[in-house]
């Protein structure tokens, strides 16, 4: 309650993805004052609906500040979400996103469009564009990496998202761990040595890592890898494989879960790539910037 007095809110921001919903009370500098977390992702809604989930997570703030605007980003705007917010084609600037918000009728919530890359190698993002624009003050021309279930490598040029590539790293890792022979011997121990080994094996693999997956098993059978280190080796293979896309002078900015960002930074160091980890709060800052550009809050 002390913070509420010190810093007046101007926006409710929602980071509403596939697996969770994070609601943020955001102040006039784009900082988070209060935060609420629910495991109510678009694919994991509790009994009820988007409307009741939304009401639950915002009501405590609405009571006090009934007129606060609300802006959401993420899979809530997908076809499987609350209401479909059509993609904005790349190259995409913050101004383009701000002029194409989709409103949820009768609720007073707006949704940031995702970004689509068209052409021979199409790709899509929803939610990451907001985090990317939240990191604008850390450079308008750079490579931004958002590790996760679907890791994104984003190229930002002059403050515009011009290119990006999705790797299913986290989701593939979980599927291999939980549903193939590679998970059977695994333990929860951590081995940075095995992780590094996986990264270096991926780096040396001219034909990619799919032909190497079985090595996570055969190295164990041959006594060259500790069974408990299987998953770290596999994680190194998958993350290391992403790094082939990085230019040696990229100096990527990492945005996301702190542990995961450190894991990526370690892998990048093995590729002699200097990486930087973004300060927390990219989603809140991005929602606040887009809300300002859209005129939802004073500029």
Task: Tell me the backbone φ, ψ of residue 179, rounded to 5 degrees.
Answer: -135, 20
- 162 is a site residue for a second copy (CB under 8 A): no
Q: Does 205 bind a second copy (CB under 8 A)?
A: yes
Q: Which long-range contacts (CB under 8 A, 24 or more apart) does 20-29 make?
A: 20/44, 21/53, 21/57, 22/283, 23/57, 23/58, 24/283, 24/284, 24/287, 25/61, 26/284, 26/287, 26/288, 28/297
Query: What is the token pair recorded at 176?
Result: 């291999």
Decide if residue 210 touches a second copy (CB under 8 A).
yes
Binding flag, residue 156, a second copy (CB under 8 A): no
Is the CB of 210 or the CB of 279 nearer to a second copy?
210
Confirm or reject binding of residue 60 to a second copy (CB under 8 A): no
Beta pairing class for 32-38 and 21-27:
antiparallel
CB of 50 to a second copy, least distance (A): 19
Residues 45, 83, 107, 116: which binds a second copy (CB under 8 A)? 116
**Contact status: 103 vs a second copy (CB under 8 A):** no
17 contacts 42 by C-beta, under 8 angstroms: yes
In the list 35, 141, 157, 178, the residue contacting a second copy (rule: CB under 8 A) is: 178
Count of residues of this chain found to bind a second copy when the rule CB under 8 A is applied: 40
Q: Does 214 bind a second copy (CB under 8 A)?
A: yes
Q: Does 208 bind a second copy (CB under 8 A)?
A: yes
Q: What is the DSSP letter of 252?
A: P
Q: If binding is defined by CB under 8 A, does position 181 make contact with a second copy?
A: yes
122 in contact with a second copy (CB under 8 A)? yes
DSSP string, 35-104: EEEES--TTS--SS-HHHHHHHHHHHHHHH-TT--EEEESGGGSTTSSS--PPEESSB-HHHHHTT-EEE
| Residue reference for tokens 């190698």 | 121
Residue 84 binds to a second copy (criterion: CB under 8 A) = no
Binder of a second copy out of 3, 55, 60, 174 (CB under 8 A) = 174
Q: Is 160 exposed, middle or buried (0-12, 13-18, 19+ CB in 10 A)?
A: middle
Residue 213 in contact with a second copy, rule: CB under 8 A: yes
Q: Give all strands of the β-sheet with 253-254 in edge-to-edge order.
A: 160-167, 151-157, 142-146, 253-254, 276-277
Contacting range for a second copy; rule: CB under 8 A; set: 57-65, 226-234, 239-247, 252-260: 239-247
Phi/psi of residue 247, nearest 5 degrees: -80, 150
Query: Whose Cβ is closer to a second copy: residue 183's or residue 281's?
Result: 183
Among the listed residues 215, 265, 273, 297, the single contact to a second copy using CB under 8 A: 215
207 scored as a contact of a second copy (CB under 8 A):
yes
Contact residues toward a second copy (CB under 8 A) are 116, 118, 121-124, 150, 165-168, 171-172, 174-176, 178-182, 205, 207-211, 213-215, 218-219, 221-222, 224, 238, 241-242, 244-245
């Amino acid at each position: 309650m002390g913070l509420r007095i010190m810093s007046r809110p101007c926006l409710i921001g929602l980071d509403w993805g596939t697996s969770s919903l994070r609601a943020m009370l955001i102040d006039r500098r784009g900082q988070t004052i209060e935060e609420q977390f629910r495991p109510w992702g678009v694919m994991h809604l509790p009994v009820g609906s988007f409307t009741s989930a939304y009401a639950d997570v915002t009501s405590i703030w609405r009571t006090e500040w009934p007129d606060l605007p609300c802006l959401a980003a993420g899979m809530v705007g997908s076809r499987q979400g609350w209401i479909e917010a059509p993609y904005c084609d790349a190259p995409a600037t913050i101004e383009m996103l701000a002029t194409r918000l989709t409103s949820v009728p009768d609720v007073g919530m707006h949704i940031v469009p995702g970004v689509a890359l068209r052409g021979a190698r199409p790709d899509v993002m929803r939610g990451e564009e907001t985090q990317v624009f939240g990191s604008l003050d850390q450079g308008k021309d750079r490579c931004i990496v958002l590790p996760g279930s679907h890791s994104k490598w984003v190229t930002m040029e002059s403050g515009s998202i011009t290119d990006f590539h999705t790797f299913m790293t986290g989701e593939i890792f979980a599927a291999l761990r939980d549903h193939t022979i590679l998970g059977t011997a695994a333990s929860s121990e951590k081995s940075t040595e095995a992780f590094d080994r996986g990264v270096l094996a991926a780096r040396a693999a001219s034909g990619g890592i799919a032909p190497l997956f079985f090595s996570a098993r055969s190295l164990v059978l041959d006594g060259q890898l500790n069974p408990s280190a299987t998953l770290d080796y596999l994680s190194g293979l998958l993350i290391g494989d992403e790094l082939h896309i990085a230019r040696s002078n990229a100096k990527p900015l990492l945005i996301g879960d702190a542990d995961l960002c450190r894991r990526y930074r370690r892998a990048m160091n093995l590729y002699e790539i200097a990486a930087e980890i973004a300060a927390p709060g990219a989603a809140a800052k991005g929602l606040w910037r887009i809300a300002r550009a859209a005129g939802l809050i004073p500029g």
